[in-house]
Chains A and B, each alone.
Chain A
Amino acid sequence: MSVSSSSKIALGLGLGLFLAACGGSDTQSEKPAVDTLAVDTTAKETELLNVGGRIFSIPSPVQAALAMRKAGLKYRKELAAPLEKADPAVGKTAQSTLLGIYGADLAYATVHKDGQRAMATMQAIEKVGSKLELTNAFDRALLDRFKSNLGSEDSLLQFSGVAFRAADRYLKENQRNDVSALVLAGGWIESLYLTISDPAAANDQSIVNRIGEQKNSLDALVELVQTTDTANGAANIVAGLKELQALFAKVSSTYTFQEPVTDAGKKTTFINSTSTVTIPADQLKAIVTKVTDIRNLMLA
C-alpha cells in the first residue's frame, strides 16, 4: 500500500504537531515518540538538546526585587510602569513585553509590602493577560486569591510565580514561544531598570555585582528573543538587547571551583565555588542608559 503525496504532507504535519506538543520540534529527533516506561537500552550517540528548543532560564524578577530590598535600596513606586498602559497596548510585542514589565513591577511592589499597588498591578496583568489569551493563568479567581492574601508577602509571591509559570507553560504548549520570550524580556529589563534607577545602586557593591552577574542571562535572552521572533515584530527590541550585550561584553568575571558538600538527609547540596565580577564605572553608566532606552522602547 502506498501513501499519496497529500497524505505524506498530512503525516508530516501530524508528526510535527506531535513533536511540538511535547517540547518543540526545532532541534529534536525527527522520530515520533510516545512516553513509555518500556526499557530501551540501545546504545546511541549522545545528543544534547536545549530544553524546549532554545529555552534558557532567565532570572526571576522576584529575586531582583529581593536583592534590592536586601541592599536597602529605597522603594520608589513611581519607577514602576504606568498601569494605564494596559488599555492601549496593541500588538503581540507590546502586550508581551508589558506583561513581563508588570510582572517585575508586581514583584517590586509585593516585596516592598505595597499591597495596594500590587493589587492594582495584578489587575493590569489580568487585563494584558486577557489580550494575550492567557486567562487560564491570570483570571478572576487569581485576583480574588490575591486580594484576600494582601497581607501575606509569601502567598502573593507564590501566587504570582505559579501564575506566570502556568502562562509560560500554556504559551509553550501552544507554540507561542515568541510571546513567552518577550514576556521574559520585559520582566528582565524592568527588573534591571528598577535596580539601576536608584543612584545609590552604583555605590552598593552587592547590587553592582548583581548587575554584572546578568551577563549570561542577557546572552540567553538575546538568543531566545532573536530565535523566536520569526516575524521580526520585535526587531527593535532585539537590536537594543544586542547593543546592551555589547556593553556587557566588557564585564569581566572570575570563577574558582570548590568541592560542593551534599547533605543527603536534607536533600541539599551546598555549592561553595567562588566568583567575582568587575564592571568599569563608565560601562555601568552606559548600561544604565541603554537599559532605560530599551525599557522606553517597550513602553512606547
Chain B
Amino acid sequence: MRRTLLILGLSASIAGSAQELCGTIAARCEQHITKQYIPDGQFYRALLQGDEQAEFNLTLFGGTTYRVAACSGESDGILVFNVVDKDGNVLFSNKDQGNAPYWDLAVTNTIDVKVEAGLDPTKAGSGCAVMLIGFKK
C-alpha cells in the first residue's frame, strides 16, 4: 500500500512537471503571436516521440494573413512543420527556412490545409509540441 501511494505520488509529480514543461513552451510560443495578430482562441499541443508527427486540419480563409507558431523543447527551431493542401502539395515547410519557429501565410482564396509537425531528429528525441495560430485583421 505504501509503495502504491509512493508510485502514485511520484507519477502525479511527473505529470505536474510535464504539464509545467508544456506550459513553459506555450509561454515562449505565445511571444511569436505578436500584437499585430489576433489569437484564434485555441491551444494545440501534442506529445511527440521519435519521428511521430502531429497533425491538425484547418480552414484558412481567403484575404487573410495567418501566423503559425510551432515550438518545442527549450529553444526555437526544434519543431519542423509542413503546411499541406488537400491534394498533398506542400505549400510551406519551415525546414526550408532554418526551422523557423513561426511563419506567415498570406491566403488569397479559402483553402483547407493540414499542418504536420514533428521534432527535428537532430535536436530532440521527444517532447511537447505546441502550435498556435493568429491572424491579421
Where the two chains meet, the residues of A that have a C-beta atom closer than 8 Å to any C-beta of B are: 3-4, 6-7, 9-11, 13-15, 17-23, 28-29, 31-44, 46-52, 55-63, 66-67, 103, 154, 157-158, 160-162, 164-165, 168-169, 172-173, 184, 187, 209-210, 213-214, 216-217, 220, 255, 257, 260, 262, 264, 266-275, 277
Contacts and interface: CB of A to CB of B under 8 A. Distances in A.
A7 B45 contact: no
A209 B62 CA distance: 10
Contacts of B117: 51
B45 A35 contact: no
Contacts of A6: 1, 4
Interface string B34-78: 010011111111111111111111111110110000001110001
Nearest to B23: A173
Given A161-B38, A168-B42, A169-B26, A267 B104 contact: yes
A52 B46 contact: yes
A171 B51 CA distance: 28
A209 B135 CA distance: 20
A29 B104 CA distance: 31
The DSSP consensus for interface residues of chain A is mixed
Contacts of B30: 165
Nearest to B113: A271
Contact of B41 (A29, A43, A103): A103
Given A37-B124, A154-B137, A264-B97, A50 B55 contact: yes
Given A14-B12, A262-B92, A271-B108, A165 B61 contact: no
Contacts of B45: 22-23, 51-52, 172
A46 B51 contact: yes
B18 A34 contact: yes
Contacts of B132: 165
Nearest to B88: A257
Nearest to B73: A37
Interface of B: 1, 3-5, 7-8, 10-12, 14-16, 18-19, 21-23, 25-26, 30, 35, 38-62, 64-65, 72-74, 78, 83, 85-87, 89, 91-92, 96-97, 100, 102-112, 116-117, 121-129, 131-135, 137
Nearest to A4: B3
Nearest to A156: B38
A10 B11 contact: yes
A22 B85 contact: no
Nearest to A64: B61
Nearest to A266: B104
B11 A49 contact: no
A189 to B, nearest CB: 15
A14 B7 contact: yes
B37 to A, nearest CB: 8
A42 B55 contact: no
B122 A22 contact: no
5 contacts: A10-B8, A13-B8, A32-B14, A33-B49, A35-B21
A17 B8 CA distance: 10
A62 B38 contact: yes
A15 B57 contact: no
